[in-house]
Structure 1
Amino acid sequence: MSELEMIEKEIKIVICSKNRCKDCQHASGLECMNLVELQDNTDLRIVLLVEQSKGLIHFSKLVRLPKRAPWYSNSWDTVYVHKGRILDDPNAIVDFYSTDPYLSVFFKEENSGDLFYEAYPIVRSPIETALVEQLGRDLSQILEKESSVRVKLTNRLERLALAVSKKISKLLPEINDSTRSRISSIVANESTVIGPMIPLLLDDEVEEIYLDRPCSSLYFDHARHGRSRTSLILDMDIISRLVTLFRAESNLHLDRKNPSLKTDLSLLGNLLRVSVGAPPLASDGFHLEIRRARKKPLSLLDLIKNGTLTLEAASILMLALGCRFNITITGEPGSGKTTLLNALDMSSPRTWRKVYIEDAIESRTQLTHHQLRIRVDPVDEANSRYNKDVEIVKSLHRSPDYLILGEIQTMEHSRSLFQAMAAGLRTIQTCHSYSAASLISRWVYNHRIEESSLAMMDLIVTLNRPIPGESLRRVVEIAEVKKRIDDGFLRFGGLNILYSVVVSKPISWAEDGAFRFHANQDGFENHIPAFEIIVKILRENVLSITEENSFHLSEKLWEYGHPLKIVGSE
């Protein structure tokens, strides 16, 4: 059974009579027999009661489903929809959840089987809807006393919501704080050009949003449902206003001389990475991609639980991280490279000083860790002042325990990376490629890295996304770099595939591989006992370790002065 089929089993749609229980054959006193019959259905996650004639949707979040309809019980949440597919075709609903202050609803197309998405502001009644509309019309008057100083988008939305909240308090002081806050947020969000997209941008299950050309509909990738369509269409007027917003937020150029822009954007506590293309680069007009980071980033243990990593693969990475290997994470676009990099980063000891060099900030703030972030200009910024390759070299004087570089894109980036490793810096970075072998070829043939320099790299991790548009990502290969010292020079000896989803076999450590090489260099016979202990620890704690305490394992690796000495604690 597919995940979508499982989700469909979790939802029950009940379409109520126009006169509610008065002429309904399922009414029995104050109880609804439809609801009574569902009491013992353990598969159900949510029940929707739809009143099409009244434009009302009722749903219960209680563990125990109420037996009485919403007009006889306080155990239901009610939303006034007024109009939309949720009323016209409720039986097509396959998923439904709230992302305050919005409802996210997924429909299954009957003919194609595609998923279609609509979002609805959470308003409880026609009176609340009228209030939202009136406050929206009055918004310019509400803000007459607001400062004209340009502020960031989040600050602007917060100021708008506060101003609207004050207006509501004066007009309707009887409205409670929760309702006032919800309505204020809806009004503030709808006042901005990005307003129609905000329900998607606030949804932690939305991964990436796409617009291919003006006047086409937005579509997006969802963590559980994969690729889904929307009815949102952005015309040139909206796109022009969006471009103005992105330029103001980033202070970067987007015009015919510099027809692409890449930046990060903070929206109400959500971190977004925005990429925009403009003519003449975009032949059909503007295109837009927005990648959103989860509010709660995935830890290494989360990646084990969702199938991205096996225990053995995670153990290899934990040992490599603990030994401060030079690690490159590679894969196709959207394969989860940054997610894995951030999971490794969060698993590092709190005492380590980490320096980040990124053109769009995708690393995560860890309050108990030592982090220095450096923002550089994107590679396609025509008037670039801060270059990644220059800042990599300058990091020699910033004393990092680990240098985290984000994406390595150009020949200059690669050359600076290998120069930094040759100077003794320990690095983690991402780079687009299909496999470790293709990445080595890219470095040698496209970026002109000398083969002898490749021995500075220790580990190459490859991810892929087996089905385009689907949510599953997985680590498909981990390769250690083979190396040796010959006449005083470090030599590259090829790759040893430690882990592969294609070829199922026990881990085979190369005699001249990075793990044995570094173990011998540090005075140990080998690393295998430490690796086996890490596997054991992860297996025993996979259900209890979270991102809040996942760094404790890497700290435990250093309790005895070196990760390979952990065998002495067992």
Structure 2
Amino acid sequence: MAETERGILHFCGSNGLRQSEPSWRTEGWESVFVGTISHLFEGLDEILALYKVGPYLSMFKQSEYSQTKYITIPIVRTSLEHSLIDELSQKSVQIGDRSLSLRESITQKLKQDSEDILKHIMSLLPEINETTRANLSEIIAHRRSVLGSIMPIILDDFVEEIYLDRPGVPIYFDHQKYGRCVTTITFQEYEVPKIVTLIRAESNLHLDRSNPSLKMDLQIQNASLRFSASIPPLSPDGLHLEIRRARNRPFSVGDLVENGTMTPEVAAILLFAVSCRFNITVTGGPGTGKTTLLNALDMTTPTWWRKIYIEDAIESRDQRKHHQVRFRVDPMDEQLMKFSKSDEIIKCLHRSPDYLILGEIQTAEHSKALFQAITAGLRTIQTCHSGSASSLISRWKLGHDIKDDNLALMDVIVTLERPRPGESKRRVSEIIEIRRKVVDGLLEFSGLNVVYDSNQGVNDNWAHDGAFMVSAKDFGIESHVPALKNLIDEIRHNTYLPNFEILSEKMWSCGHPMMYNNQRT
């Protein structure tokens, strides 16, 4: 609801949705000053949604070409507050009196700047209330940062990935609900050196002409980010950025069932495989949700397992009740590599993990280290880019020179897909089990068996030489099917949603997941 003469936009503060009654007749409304000549008053009927992100209002409007138009504004109530933000955001205005520590992170700097600005506003305008001072100081601290223009996007928990193709062109991002969103925000050439300096300082890695690409993880306030940056000569048009944002509350397996990423039957198969400590690879194209699924499965493991993580950018989640050891290795972009992922995988042979979580397997060297660890008896779960299980096997065999007898030790490959580019919908498209046999005492790769595909559903024809049946027989039982059916029945009853960890521990209380029954006491 708009009051154009006063330059005020009213919105429902609780959820951003419109109400049928005006703001002066009902509760739950908030107001924001945007100015009397603001373009925001145009096309109000095109608004899809608006909601608060910290001290900002995020607005989503209909646009053409299957994209959504994104607008963000600071939440201020008066023209005085608006002017105060504009004035104090200028870096020429000295605020605070402290020497900047070279070891200070961007989050620490933003926090300290916000505190200094809050004190400055209090001395200038003591009549402004505490809440307003806090909001204004946070907005101003953001604007004085090189990433200030995209802070409302960075802080939004519905944002999945942010893109800058090159300086001077609009930034766009992928939203969990509204798909691909376009902005009017950009970074200009004069801002690039500041961004590069920030990335170098936060990562302690090289980003220059001799090492023109970099991947690193970065925490900004409550947002966990993975930055991928490229500069000339690799990126001839200038700085290129991809910023992946992890949700503050990670998706659980239950969440992925509810949002349609997987069916309850798929959840049961994957939970069963993880509980049995199968060697699992999650594959799919870029942005299909591989890490999201891996983290969701990781959270289902029993609390007593000792888990070791090896990642070049920390994308795993801190699980307070679990036994976790995490190692960060240098990304493959780093030419002066000190900590090799392959070396750390091999070192895990002496670190006694119950499960080894490897993040992304990217190179032939990574793949060889992975299969060396598996042949030595370690149980692993990881991601790897590919379009399907078949193409992943081809990549391993032809591109990474992995032998068939090694491939036979992989158990399950899960494929994710994004049916329409730019949209938020993802789904598990396929689960396959590896088939294997022993000939003259030697293990042989016998091919693949489709356990599930999104068109046909679950395939009840389990291969006698597939990973599931072979594992059951190794455990001394005829088939895994009764235990799996019990698990599917348990999940369909939603007894343990969303806490699948309890269900995993319940399976082990039967002696082993292969012996699971769902009799309720």
Q: State the TM-score, normalizing by the size of structure 2.
A: 0.95
1: CA distance, partners of 2:500 / 2:39: 44
Residue 301 of structure 1 corresponds to 254
Residue 294 of structure 2 corresponds to 341
1:357 partnered with 2:310: yes
Residue 147 of structure 2 corresponds to 194
Residue 513 of structure 2 corresponds to 563
Matches within 5 A, 1:76-475: 76-82=29-35, 84-109=38-63, 112=65, 114-137=67-90, 140-475=93-428
1:276–1:75 Cα change, 3 Å: closer
Report the alpha carbon displacement of residue 69 of structure 1 after superposing the two structures with TM: 3.9
Kept in 1, the 8 Å contact 2:490–2:518? The answer is no
Point out the more displaced range, 77-86 or 521-530. Answer: 77-86
Q: For 2:6, which of 54, 66, 78 is the aligned residue? A: 54
**Stretches of structure 1 lacking an aligned partner (at least 5 in a row):** 1-48
1:504–1:344 Cα change, 3 Å: closer
2: CA distance, partners of 1:391 / 1:84: 56
Kept in 2, the 8 Å contact 1:52–1:88? The answer is no
1:68–1:218 Cα change, 3 Å: closer
Kept in 1, the 8 Å contact 2:487–2:516? The answer is no
2: CA distance, partners of 1:173 / 1:488: 83
2: CA distance, partners of 1:519 / 1:504: 23
Q: Which amino acid aligns with 2:41?
A: L
1: CA distance, partners of 2:432 / 2:485: 18
Deviations 1:143-167 (A, max 9, x none): 2234444410111111111111222
1:471–1:276 Cα change, 3 Å: same
Point out the more displaced range, 518-527 or 147-156. Answer: 147-156
| Higher-Rg member (1/2) | 1
2: CA distance, partners of 1:255 / 1:53: 51
Q: State the TM-score, normalizing by the size of structure 1.
A: 0.87
Q: Which amino acid aligns with 1:89?
A: G
Deviations 1:43-99 (A, max 9, x none): xxxxxx111222211122469987864456664211111264322332222221111
Matches within 5 A, 1:466-545: 466-504=419-457, 506-541=459-494, 545=497
Kept in 1, the 8 Å contact 2:11–2:18? The answer is no
Q: How many residues align?
A: 518
Q: Which amino acid aligns with 1:559?
A: S
Deviations 1:502-547 (A, max 9, x none): 33464321111101111111112211111011111111117x622x
1: CA distance, partners of 2:74 / 2:349: 51
- How much identity, in percent, do the aligned residues show? 49
Q: Which amino acid aligns with 2:151?
A: I
RMSD value, Cα? 2.0
Kept in 2, the 8 Å contact 1:321–1:344? The answer is yes
Kept in 2, the 8 Å contact 1:139–1:164? The answer is no
1:84–1:328 Cα change, 3 Å: farther
Q: Which amino acid aligns with 1:271?
A: S
Report the alpha carbon displacement of residue 114 of structure 1 after superposing the two structures with TM: 3.5
2: CA distance, partners of 1:93 / 1:65: 10
Point out the more displaced range, 228-237 or 313-322. Answer: 228-237
Report the alpha carbon displacement of residue 568 of structure 1 after superposing the two structures with TM: 7.8
1:66–1:246 Cα change, 3 Å: closer
Q: Which amino acid aligns with 2:7?
A: G
1:65–1:389 Cα change, 3 Å: closer
Deviations 1:251-271 (A, max 9, x none): 111111111011111011211
1: CA distance, partners of 2:33 / 2:464: 68
2: CA distance, partners of 1:368 / 1:437: 37
Q: Which amino acid aligns with 2:517?
A: V
1:65–1:428 Cα change, 3 Å: closer
2: CA distance, partners of 1:318 / 1:76: 44
Deviations 1:102-129 (A, max 9, x none): 11111223x6564211111111111221
Report the alpha carbon displacement of residue 174 of structure 1 after superposing the two structures with TM: 3.8
**Stretches of structure 2 lacking an aligned partner (at least 5 in a row):** none
